[in-house]
Chain A
Amino acid sequence: MSDTFFNPHQRATVEAAMARIIPTDDTPGAREAGCVDFVDRYLSGIGYIFAKPDGSGFEVLEGASAKAWMQRIEIMRERYVAGLLDLDARAHERFSADFVALAPQQQDDILHELEQAGTGAPRTLAVNDALAGPVSPQPALQQTSTEVDLDFLPLMVTHTRQGYYADPIYGGNRNRIGWEVIGFPGPASLKDVHIGRYTTLQYFAEGEADKVREFHDGL
């Protein structure tokens, strides 16, 4: 099974769009973090849905869960294919070139246009909606997301953020770039969490870690 889905043009377009979603400034952005690799692999099938919790590879999905995931992947593939065509069509209409060939500012213009055309959702979410983050259209502070329901742009925004911040095992967050940018001292690997070697106790209030250190050998 190939672990890519996009053809070269689609891939270049997604990479360019992601580079506007999390741009490179004085710190690396989506391009450097390999967000396109993350999503290309995700859409390649169901071989990369759940990393094994000790970081030793990926779970093989079976039965009903495998079917549900394939159904979801198909929906997202269609959304990307159609969304990328639309992106190029808009780019041609306004600037007579493919999206990838545009200057960053022009790309932003197209993405803003798409955003407004999309669900009619405002560019900046109302305060009431925003706690859902880019994932869920519902205001919901702690609930599972249903990304498959999202329109193309919010879906790609979600995948960009996932690719930037999720554990590097999923193919994005290359060299922990996303974590370094925001200052997250993530675990060395999934295995560290799995065996209980990863702690954030030292970021607690002054002196608190010392109080409990005796209970945690080796931390």
Chain B
Amino acid sequence: MAYKTKPARTDVVIIGAGASGAAAAKVLCEAGVKVVALEKGPWRKKESFGGDELANINRYNLWPDPILNPRTWRETADDDARSEMFCPVPQMVGGGTVHWQGWLPRFTENDFRLRTVAGDLPGTSLADWPITYDELEPYYLKVEWAFGVSGQPGANKFESRRSGGYPCPPMPISRYAQKFIKGCDALGWNAFPTPQAALSRPFNGRKATVVSAFAQQHGDPTGTRSSALNVFIPDAVATGNFELRPDCVVRELTLDSEGNIKAAIYQDADGDTIEQEADLFILACGAMETARLMLLSKSGRFPNGVANGSDMVGRNVTFHEYSAAVGTYDDPVYAWAGGGYVSASTFQHYEHDASRGFVSGGHIAVAGVGIPLPINWRMPGTPSWGAEAKKNDRDHFSHSLAIAMVLHDMPQHENRIDLDETVVDAWGLPVARVTLKPHRNDVDQGRYLIDRGADILEASGALTIRRVYADRVTGNCSHQHGTARMGDDGATSVLNRWCRAHEVENLYAVDGSPFPTGTGANPTLTIMANAWRVADKIIAERGAAV
């Protein structure tokens, strides 16, 4: 639909209809608020998804096409940036949840106060969150129940207080999860079924999740895996208060004379430029793109980007890195079953422990190798072609698994997103440039966590063990945070504790950008819970009519 004329002003504009934008839309619309969501990508229906590894993983069916959506990366400000698909996430309604498998652990109490727990770490900008676990806890539960998360309360003995259980019992146990549990048991470590955004049984009118080999990185044609696309979006639509405009790229936010946001300027599918006014604006583009949009929105009042008087927008970006120890076994573990991802976890090495010599720790979990096929994966340290490569594929396909870790990389002032004025995207806009150098702590923590994965492999009887240390943060985890920190001090943060810009009264951000630290766990449950919390606050403050 082309808006040749100026569309009517609305209560709230949400920019980005991914995990966080969809969560906020649901909550606001259910309270009677009129919401327009502007989403860069298409609104795809489940019928457009399928079990096609080539299309989904190799050919940008769901990943952003780097020719249309480039990004650049450099290690330090002295280096030249080069094109790299750093930390890509699908750009379409549902965002990153379209092709995840959805591990949904909660953060722990100490995640919200790591600076206090661990003290100063030189070279980092480690900070406590302005909010506590207890403030977020009710919202964790709301998201878990909206999504129908499958899990076992209490099974993670390092988990912080819960005010309720999971709506669905854990997903079926895979053979590779059995190996993981066996290894943890032998070591005396706690293991638990990874909470999943999937239905172990029918829930809320939706069918139980069909477990297939095509899950992680594949969209779900059955609609049984839980995502923003098939949970929050339909909830918001059902209220009649929601207007979702796909294929609309927001280029800039403009200010009114008071210094509030006046409008979002976007380009629709026909290439027309449209101005959408609202009382309130919520950024939910993912931490990298939210920072980029803020930086693109320059004005006399904010020459360096909106709400960026502190020069903090884009800084302290954190990503996580995903790597693994890989093991092989005599007996088959069929690690391709379940799309590589129906699994078990441990938080045994999650909490900070000063005796290890580095700050914090991370989530360790068992995953399949391959996704599912050896197209995109092969046994580390083996040749890429020839008779031996073929033999490796054959021998390892059903007999190997990966014990992966989520690396809690530390925030640093110089690690940042800014604009690359030399590279533009398909809409002619300067792209996000990543400047990122790992801290010694990141490298040490990664080695430690991978070594613990190797311990589990050994204790579970693996025949061979290979460690793939992460010496560089590549953004391969697709987790992004920190570019618009929340905090009480406007000099060191961009947003206040309610994720409202210190400098702009009607501007919020609800994706990963407010996170002062990335923590050692998958972030999206917390991103959605926080978006829900912020939406509730907006309703409480302004009333349904805004």
Question: Which residues of A come within 8 Å of B, CB atoms?
Answer: 20-23, 25, 27, 29, 49-51, 53-55, 64-65, 68, 71-72, 108, 111, 123-128, 130-131, 133-135, 138-147, 154, 157, 160-162, 165-167, 170, 181-184, 186-187, 190, 192-196, 198-201, 203-205, 208-209, 211-212, 215-216, 219
Contacts and interface: CB of A to CB of B under 8 A. Distances in A.
Given A130-B379, A142-B322, A182-B397, A205 B53 contact: no
A215 B85 contact: no
- In this complex, the member of B50, B55, B177, B202 whose beta carbon has the largest number of chain A beta carbons within 10 angstroms is B50
Contacts of A184: 213, 336, 372-373, 397
B468 interface: yes
A124 B383 contact: yes
Contacts of B51: 53, 167, 187, 190, 192-194, 198
Given A68-B65, A193-B221, 6 more contacts: A167-B52, A181-B390, A184-B213, A184-B373, A196-B222, A215-B202
Nearest to A121: B384
B252 interface: no
Given A131-B323, A134-B378, A142-B216, A193 B387 contact: no
Given A29-B390, A130-B468, A212-B200, A142 B222 contact: no
- In this complex, the member of B172, B384, B470 whose beta carbon has the largest number of chain A beta carbons within 10 angstroms is B384
B172 A131 contact: no
B214 to A, nearest CB: 6
Interface stretch (B276-284, B473-481, B504-512): B473-481
- In this complex, the member of A111, A139, A143, A181 whose beta carbon has the largest number of chain B beta carbons within 10 angstroms is A143
Nearest to A193: B51
B210 A72 contact: no
Given A182-B393, A182-B394, A135 B65 contact: no
A61 to B, nearest CB: 11
Interface stretch (B7-15, B56-64, B310-318): B56-64
Contact of A127 (B48, B202, B224, B381): B381
Contacts of A135: 58, 375-376
Contacts of B214: 193, 198
Interface in B348-377: 371-377
Interface residues on B, range: 35 or more
A201 B385 contact: no
B49 interface: yes
Contacts of B221: 53, 193-196
Contacts of B472: 139
A203 B332 CA distance: 9
B255 to A, nearest CB: 31
24 contacts: A21-B385, A23-B387, A25-B387, A27-B394, A29-B390, A51-B50, A130-B381, A131-B468, A138-B84, A139-B323, A142-B216, A142-B322, A142-B477, A143-B474, A146-B85, A154-B384, A165-B375, A182-B397, A184-B373, A187-B212, A195-B221, A201-B211, A205-B172, A216-B208
Nearest to B384: A134
B426 A64 contact: yes
Interface string B452-486: 00000000000000111111101111100000000
A49 B342 CA distance: 29
Closest 7 CB pairs of A and B: A53-B50, A193-B51, A215-B208, A200-B337, A144-B63, A203-B337, A140-B476
Contact of A145 (B58, B211, B478): B58
A189 to B, nearest CB: 10
A128 B471 contact: yes
Interface in B391-419: 393-394, 397-398, 402, 404
Interface in B17-32: none
Contacts of A125: 380-381, 384
B66 A146 contact: yes
Given A139-B472, A167-B53, A216 B210 contact: yes
Contacts of B469: 127-128
B178 A205 contact: yes
B121 interface: no
B348 to A, nearest CB: 21
A200 B212 contact: yes
A213 B50 CA distance: 22
A78 to B, nearest CB: 16
Contacts of B398: 182-183
A58 to B, nearest CB: 10
Contact of B54 (A55, A170, A194, A215): A170
B52 A190 contact: yes
Contacts of A181: 390, 393-394
A196 B211 CA distance: 9
Contact of A131 (B377, B475, B477): B377
- In this complex, the member of A22, A54, A123, A194 whose beta carbon has the largest number of chain B beta carbons within 10 angstroms is A194
Nearest to A209: B172
Nearest to B213: A200
B188 interface: no
A196 B386 contact: no
Nearest to A25: B387
B50 A127 contact: no
A53 B371 CA distance: 17
Nearest to B379: A130
B141 interface: no
Contact of B390 (A25, A124, A211): A25
B474 A140 contact: yes
Contacts of A141: 322-324, 402, 404, 468, 476
Contacts of B397: 182-184
A134 B383 CA distance: 9
Interface in B324-340: 324, 326, 334, 336-338
B172 A208 contact: yes
A126 B381 contact: yes
A53 B52 contact: yes
B257 interface: no
Nearest to B173: A205
Nearest to B219: A53
B177 A205 contact: yes
B201 A215 contact: yes
B461 to A, nearest CB: 16
Given A143-B88, A184-B397, A193-B50, A130 B382 contact: yes
A135 B476 CA distance: 14
B142 interface: no
A23 B380 contact: no
Contacts of B394: 27, 181-183
Interface in B124-166: none
Nearest to A211: B172
A31 B384 CA distance: 17
B57 A127 contact: no
Contacts of A134: 378, 384-385
Given A64-B68, A193-B51, A49 B59 contact: yes
A204 B174 contact: yes
Nearest to A136: B376
